[in-house]
Structures are given as C-alpha cells and as structure tokens.
Structure 1
Amino acid sequence: MQKIPVVAIFDVGKTNKKLFLFDENYKIVYEKSARFTEIVDEDGFPCENLESLQLSVYNSLREVFRRQEYEVKAINFSAYGASFVCIDEEGKPLCPLYSYLKPYPEELQKHFYDTYGGEEEFTKVTASPVLGSLNSGMQLYRMKYEKPELFKQMKYALHLPQYLSYLISGEAYSDITSIGCHTNLWDFQKGAYHAWVKEEGLLEKMAPLAPSDSVVPATFPGSNYMVGVGLHDSSAALIPYLVNFQEPFVLLSTGTWCISLNPFNSTPLTKEELQRDCLRFMQYKGKPVKAARFFGGYEHEQQVKRIAAHFNQNTAHYKTVAFDPEIINKLQREQALVSGTTPSKNRLQESVFAQRDLASFASDTEAYHQFILDLVTQQVASTQLVLEGSDVKRIFVDGGFSKNAIYMNLLAAAYPDKEVFAASMAQATAIGTALAIHRHWNAKPLPNDIIELKYYAVTHDAKL
C-alpha cells in the first residue's frame, strides 16, 4: 500500500487542542482533539497544564507514526498568543505557563510606562494597547522584579507555538508573528526589539528570530520529517487569504470578538485608534497587519437571550432568521424621524440595542433585525479604523456572522463600493499553519480552491 504524504498540524487553543493530518490537497485525512483540566499557579490563578500538553503532543505523534497509511513529511504548530514558556539550560520549564488573563500589578505597570516614555508614546511605537498580562513582554518584566532568581535561571522565554516546536526539534527560536502581536516587545517604527528589551536584560532571553515559513530537522523519533517554528494563531488564520488573493482585502474574522484585519494598511496607529482597541501585528512574511476589534459575538449572544426571553422564543430560532429589507427600511425611517439622521459611523464601544425597549417592537423578527442593524453599525465603525488609508476593494467575512444573512446584507449595503463575501473554510488556522511551510513538504502547487465564497450584492436601499 502506498503511503499518503501528509503534514501534521497541532492547533492549540485555550480550550481545545487539536491535531490534523492534511494530504497534499489540504484535505483532512486524520483528526484528533483533546481537552485538559486547568491547573493553578503559585498564586492560585488558573493556567494551562503544560505537562499534560507536552505528553499529549508526544503521544499523539507516536500514534500517528504507528499508522502505516501515512508518511509524515512535516510538522508545524499554531497556538494562542501572549503566553510564554520559560525554559532553563536543559530545556525544562522553570515555572507555570501563566495565563494572559492574570491581573497585572498596577504599581509595576505604572513604573514600566513611566520609565519608558509614558503610555501614549510607548503604545504608539509598539502598536500595543495597554493590556496588562496580555502584553506578554510584561509577564517577563514582572518575573524579573518579582522572581529575580527564576529570571536568572531562564535560558529562553519561548512563546507557546515556539515551545511546542522546540519539543520536537530541540531548537529554540522566536517567531515574528508571536513577537509582533501586542507584546510590548517590538518597535514597529524601527523594525526591531524595543530598546527596553535590551535595557532590562531580556534580549539575551529571546531565542534567535527565525522566518515564520522556515523549518528545522526533527530530533523526536519518527520518519524523516521537518519541523516548522510555529505560528501565532491569528496570523495563521490569515495565511490562506494571503495565498489566494493578491488584490488588497480586509478580513473580518467573527467569533466572540469581531476582528477586522487589513494586511495592506501600513499607516501608523494614532492615539485615538489605540484607545479604540486598534493594534498591529505581524503576518508570517513579516509585514504589519492593522487590526481593530469589538465584542460583537459576545454581544450577539447576550442580546439574543434577551430577545428570546421577551418574546418567549428559543435562542436557536435566531440562527435562521431570513433577511427582510422591508423591515430594515421601516426601522431606518423610524430612526431618521426620531434623530433626524442615520446612526453615527463612530458608534463603536456601546451597543445601542442594549438600551432599546423590546416592547416597542411588533415582533421578535423586527427586534432581531434592529439588533443586527445596530451591531453592523458598530462593525462598520470598527472596520473603518483599518480601512482608512488603504485601497481595499474586497471584504471577506469568516466565522459565525458569515452565515447570518441579515448581517451580510447590511454589511454589503454599508460598503456599496466594495465587494463583500461570506467566506467559509474548515480549520482556517490549521490550514494556514500548513501553508506556511508548503514548499518544504508539498511538491504540488499552492491550492486555489480551499476558500468557498458567497457574494452579497446590494439589493435594497438600506444605508448605514
């Protein structure tokens, strides 16, 4: 029996840890999922069970290598960001994998920003809003001052994707998609580590930077395969679009957060943009991506519960509500009569619908249309932050809202001068992680059919 050449991809999320095998056409031929119970760090704060994760990677690979039908050509990793594994000279973790949700000491944070030019200037240079532990560089700064002995023992601080790669290759590297994502470590103006990294003695704790699309030989026993250096998951999810589309586009990645990603906008962040949750990170080729986000998916979950309770409906009903342009036109006429204008494009942080009286709506369908109308107004305000200063003609929407006909039609109406598409692709992050090292394992040309697109034309006179 001829073996199927495959690439193995570990996609490590906060909740689910997945292993995929893709064939040369990027079809999933094997899939395995695991979940681990969190442990707690020395302060009693929940954190990743690093030992379970490490064992799972090893055991999963041994299982794959035992299967006679596959020939593993390469392995790569994607994982959530803002998480460091600090290793000693022997490569062993020195401390827990601290959670990026762990509260950051206010005094230490103030001392940091006061020392390095103040919040406004520092956040502009590093394209990193003030996010506490979510700025992963701040975790190392904290360790230096709260656990100096541990800091001295540290050989390298590896972001989680690079640590997973290290487990299999034995080679320690840093990667720009992890270093360049709201870490406080990277100076976007100079294209190098920020000066504080060297001044605080962190530079020597950073493993050498390797290109995100590079591979190294494996030391973990198995077939003759190569190992990628790992990718930050948000950057990985963008790769299939960058591979398939050369014309400038914006990707709206919709889930709990609705994140607008523009890889074709090189304008520096302004003070106002940083205050409105706008940031930059690095795509796998080392170019900056301008990003803006708001809590759209979470807001949808909350307001759908409110509508369902008021109208005595099941929340599942709202997954299939058809788009009704007549309801939208009626709601917009009423809005114009009340305020004398259409909703402001600057309305971003606050959900207007949360303050609306549900008793004023004739039906739950009308209430839901109004909610999505309010939500898309927020979406447009957020997306505008990354659109301005670039010549984008296409907007791709993936994730939950790509399946919402009301959302998609209203978004198309908001951007009549752009092509708006609902995009669907199974396991975008894992496929992106595989595509990053395509040339090292796959002799076939890059695929051009892995993203399904549905075009939304402007078919009514709703304006946002």
Structure 2
Amino acid sequence: MSGATDGTTDATLVLDIGKTNVKLVLLDAAGAVLAERRSPNTILTDGPYPHHDVERIWHWMLDGMTEFSSLATIGAIVPVTHGATAALVDDDGLVLPVLDYEFEPPAAQAATYQALRPAYDTTCSPLLPAGLNLGRQLAWQAQTFPAEFAQANHLLMYPQYWAWRLSGVAAGEVTSLGCHTDLWQPARQQYSQLVERMGWNALLPPLQPAWAPLGPLKAALLAHTGLPASCQVICGIHDSNASLLRHLAAVDGVAQPAVLSTGTWVIAAAPGKPLDGLRERSDMLANTNALGQAVACIRFMGGREFGELAGADVQTCTVEDLQRLIDQQTMALPCFSQAGGPFAGRTGSITGPAPVDARQRYALATLYCVLVSDYCLAQLGADGAVVVEGSYTGNPWFAPLLAALRPGQAISSTDDTSGTTCGGWMLHHWGSAPAVRSSVAAPLVLNGWSAYRSHWLAALQEAL
C-alpha cells in the first residue's frame, strides 16, 4: 500500500532513538506531526555486557512503519540517535552486541586506553567515564573479543547502523564521529591518531552528508511494510546536532544563537565561539555539526538529574514553591549523575530544609537545572540569544528563570519538545526549515534569585 488516505505526499518518517525513549514520528511535507509512537529504550543485561535491545527496536519500528504507511505517502526515513554508540557488523548483521555507553569497562583497561587516546588539543574530546568515549568502548571490545572484532566488515555509528539495516548501504557521518569519540579531529575534519593506531581505517565506510539519500529500502522491507519503492533511507545524524540544524545559519546578519538541547542530556552549544576556551576538566568539547564545522559545547546529564531530584511522583510546582525554596535557601549541589559533566566526580547533596512534597521536589529540580545550565552557558561565553530545545520547553519555569539570570539576552523556547524530530525532517528537506514558533521568555524575577545563584556558586567553590 503506497497511497495516502489523507492526500499527504512526501511525508518523512523519523526514527528518533534517545537514551531513554525511542520514537517513530511521521511528519507531513510542511513538517507538521501526523502520527507518533514511542517506547522505552531498554538495556539488556544478558550476554557479554549490557547492550541495546536492537531487535526489539527493529520489530517495533517495522510495526510502526507498516501502520504509518497507510496514513501518508512516505518519501524518506531518517534515523536520529544518541551518541557514544556504534555497531560492528558483517554481511549478516552484528558480530557483537551494541554496547551501552553506561557500562564501565574493567579498571585495568582505563590505563591502557589512556596511553592510546589522542591528546585533547587535537580531538577536543574530554576523557569521560564509562564508555562515553566511543574509542574506549571499541578498544575494549577489540582487546576482549578479538575473534568477533576481526569478523567485522564495517564499524557504523549508531544512526548509520539503522540506515544500513534499512537500505544495505554502509556510510559514515561526521556528527556522530565528532561526538566525544576520540576518533575525530574536528578542526581538521579528519580521523584521529587513534584510528591509525588501532588499524580501524578499513572498517570505517565512506563519509556521507547527514542529508544524503543512501538508497531505497531493501525489497523485503518494502514488501513487509507497504512503503513505496520511491521511499529513500537518509544517512542520519546525532540527536543534539539534529536540534542544532535550524540554528546553523545567521538570519539577516544576526549571530547564531546558543542552543540548549535538552533531554536525557542537556547540551549547550555555542556556534561561532572559539575552541581555545574549552577545558577538558570541565567536560567541555567540540561537537561537529552537520556541515562539518566544530562547535564549542558543554553538557550535563540534565534529564537524568532532574528525574533524580523530582522523584517518581512528578507534580509541576507553583511560583510560590520556587520562592519558598529560595527564601529558605534549599539548594541542590551537583551532581546527581555519574556520567560526566562540569562537576563530574562530585556527589550530589541538598542543603537547607528538605523539600516536603512532590511540588517542592519539582521546584528544586527546576532551580538546580537552571543554575547548571546558566553555569554551562557562562563557561562557553554565550553572551547573545539562547534557544531552549527539547524536553525543558515543557517546564513553564525553566526559560523565565534562566532569563532572569541573564538580563539583556533573549532566552526563547521553541513550541515543539523535540528539536531532534525537526532536524530529522530537515534532512529530508535539506535547505528548508519547518514553521516552528518560538517565544521569548519574560524573566521570572523572584526575590533573592540572583543572590541564591551567588550562594550556590560559592558553595561549589567551598566544596573544591
């Protein structure tokens, strides 16, 4: 079945794999959402190490593709995924499970890898815990499973793994390669010394632009899903770079805004800012955007930390709840995740009277994430407009509180909670941007809010 029941043609199907959730989103030719399905992104603990349940995602995705094929004529499928993840494949499929980057390889391997990894000033890729440096994952797999590793024909970044499964075409792409992997030199736009040292060049397929059509779906998938033969599989992109896409170009001479891409990770990106201010110890890095340009970034696991502070019983707070915590100096000090960030290695704590209910916990989580985001923007020297993308746009207090701390800067939020989906649509319609509205936040000026930030920063210094 290839015809659209509602007349929609050239629709885009975005496979959006975040660290916490997986989404399949159908968008029309103007970028409006026609249908969406989502599922948790589960980790399996059987086998040789914790790994992604790619087969469950695969069958869930095929079911969704079949369902959506009756809603519109789908012209393209675009994979968008989280970073720090890769797949080793031969002609038949995976030779090793897709490793979960939160898995910590044995401590003895850390020293070995430290001697292998390139210098920070060549990769702008900070040394990170667990498997957040993709190079460390791959070096451990090569050492621990040499026979399986030797079977691989291709080393695929995670978006391109899904594109390969759909189309049969192997490709590389710079946004995932340039995401704190230790594999890429963003300033030179070429592979790092680690790739040479490990002999991985032959495994890395030819580079393609994120927006490049790799080819049609495999014939068996066309028959299974009912998608049209004209449907193309797009190369795909790293998720925070998908959020950045619509902000890549200056408009009417106005400088590119800084972007806060929010989800499981909060990634602050400052296009156009120099890289010489990046510091490895603060988990600052250069991502590589879809055009191959290095972008100064800093990040923290803001979605995970918000969840830890807010708890399972999430109830949106009121202005009075925020003011009460500020008045009584209840503060959350970083950090509440062990996955890197500018305060990596610290153990989170709450000072002052503890929150008494779900609303106050939500308020504390909000205050904390605003303060860490503000800190990250300051480290990047982001002194112009700031755009908030993703899950934090659903928090009514986040942008107004941030705006109150940064007078003179326009802090705006987009009207969609998933900039990644928008970016996926743009890859199918390269050169176009959907009509996404954004609104500049009015500062929420609470009594003592600026002083609260000063006390929070002072408490961080005392903890050093």
- TM bin (shorter chain): 0.7 to 0.9
Q: Is the 8 A contact 2:389 2:419 kept in 1?
A: no
Aligned counterpart in structure 1 of residue 88 of structure 2, from 71, 86, 89? 86
Q: Does 1:150 align with 2:148?
A: yes
**8 A Cα contact 2:12 2:425, kept in partner:** yes
Distance 2:308 2:103 in 1: 25
2:310 and 2:369 map into 1 onto residues whose CA distance is 12
Aligned partner of residue 402 in structure 2, secondary structure: helix
Mean Cα displacement is larger for which, 290-299 or 94-103? 290-299
What is the CA-CA distance between 1:416 and the residue it aligns to? 1.2
How far apart are 1:168 and its partner, in Å? Answer: 2.1
Q: Tell me the percent identity.
A: 23
TM-superposed CA distance for 1:193, in Å, is 0.4
- Kindly indicate which of the two structures has a greater share of residues assigned to helix: 1
Specify the SS of the correspondent of 1:4. coil
CA distance in 2 between counterparts of 1:211 and 1:421 reads 29
Deviations 1:54-90 (A, max 9, x none): 333444434444x2x52121111111222221111x2
Counterparts of 1:58-137 in structure 2, within 5 Å, are 58-65=62-69, 67=70, 69-88=71-90, 90-116=91-117, 122-131=119-128, 132-137=130-135
1:354 aligns with 2:358: no
Amino acid across the alignment from 1:248: Q
Instruction: Work out which of the residue numbers 235, 240, 246 in structure 2 matches 1:229.
Output: 235
Q: TM-score, normalised by structure 2?
A: 0.79
Say if 2:390 and 2:416, in contact at 8 Å, map to a contact too: no
Q: CA contact under 8 A between 2:328 and 2:353: conserved in structure 1?
A: no
Residues 4-83 of structure 1 correspond to what in structure 2 (within 5 A)? 4-5=8-9, 6-35=11-40, 38-43=43-48, 45-65=49-69, 67=70, 69-83=71-85
The 1:249–1:351 alpha-carbon spacing in structure 2 relative to 1, beyond 3 Å, is: farther
Aligned equivalents of 2:65, 2:395: Cα separation in 1? 38
* Map 1:22-421 → 2, pairs under 5 A: 22-35=27-40, 38-43=43-48, 45-65=49-69, 67=70, 69-88=71-90, 90-116=91-117, 122-131=119-128, 132-220=130-218, 221=222, 222-242=228-248, 247-268=255-276, 270=278, 273-304=279-310, 316-317=314-315, 319-322=316-319, 354-358=350-354, 376-387=370-381, 392-404=383-395, 406-421=397-412
Alignment correspondent of 2:436:
450
> Could you tell me which of 422, 425, 450 is aligned with 1:431?
422
| Structure 2: distance between partners of 1:230 and 1:370 | 37
The 1-side partners of 2:63 and 2:135 are apart by 31
Opposite residue 76 of structure 2, the aligned amino acid is A
Aligned-pair distance for 1:374?
A: 5.8
Partner letter of residue 138 of structure 1?
A: R
CA distance in 1, matches of 2:73, 2:441: 38
Q: Deviations over 1:362-394 (max 9, x none)?
A: x99999878755654433222211226xxx420
Cα distance between partner residues in 1 of 2:136 and 2:152: 16
How far off is 1:184 after superposition?
A: 0.9
SS at match of 1:436: helix
The structure with the larger Rg is 1
Q: For the structure 1 residues 255 and 199, does the alpha-carbon distance in structure 2 shift closer, same or farther, using more than 3 Å as the test?
A: closer
1:321 and 1:100 mapped to 2: Cα distance? Answer: 36
Paired residues of 1:72 and 1:223 also in contact (CA < 8 A) = no
Give the structure 2 partner of residue 341 of structure 1: none
8 Å CA contact 2:133–2:180 kept in 1: the answer is yes
Distance 1:28 1:123, change over 3 A: same
1:351 shift after superposition: 8.7
Counting matched residue pairs gives 423
Q: Which amino acid aligns with 1:398?
A: E
Q: How big is each residue's C-alpha offset from its partner over 1:7-40, in whole Å with a ceiling of 9 and x where there is no partner?
A: 1111123443322221111111122334576433
Quick check: 402-411 or 11-20, which moved more? Answer: 402-411
SS at match of 1:354: strand
Letter in 2 for 1:185: L
Do the aligned partners of residues 351 and 153 (structure 1) sit closer, same or farther apart at CA in structure 2, a change above 3 Å counting?
closer
How far 1:185 moved relative to its partner?
0.2
The 1-side partners of 2:325 and 2:399 are apart by 13
CA drift at 1:303: 4.3
Tell me how far apart the structure 2 counterparts of residues 356 and 425 of structure 1 sit (CA, whole Å).
36
Point out where structure 2 has 5 or more consecutive residues left out of the alignment.
223-227, 332-341, 454-464
* Whole-angstrom distance in 2 between the partners of 1:94 and 1:367: 44
Going from structure 1 to structure 2, the CA distance change for 1:216 and 1:329 (only over 3 Å counts) comes to closer
Q: SS state of the match for residue 73, structure 2?
A: strand
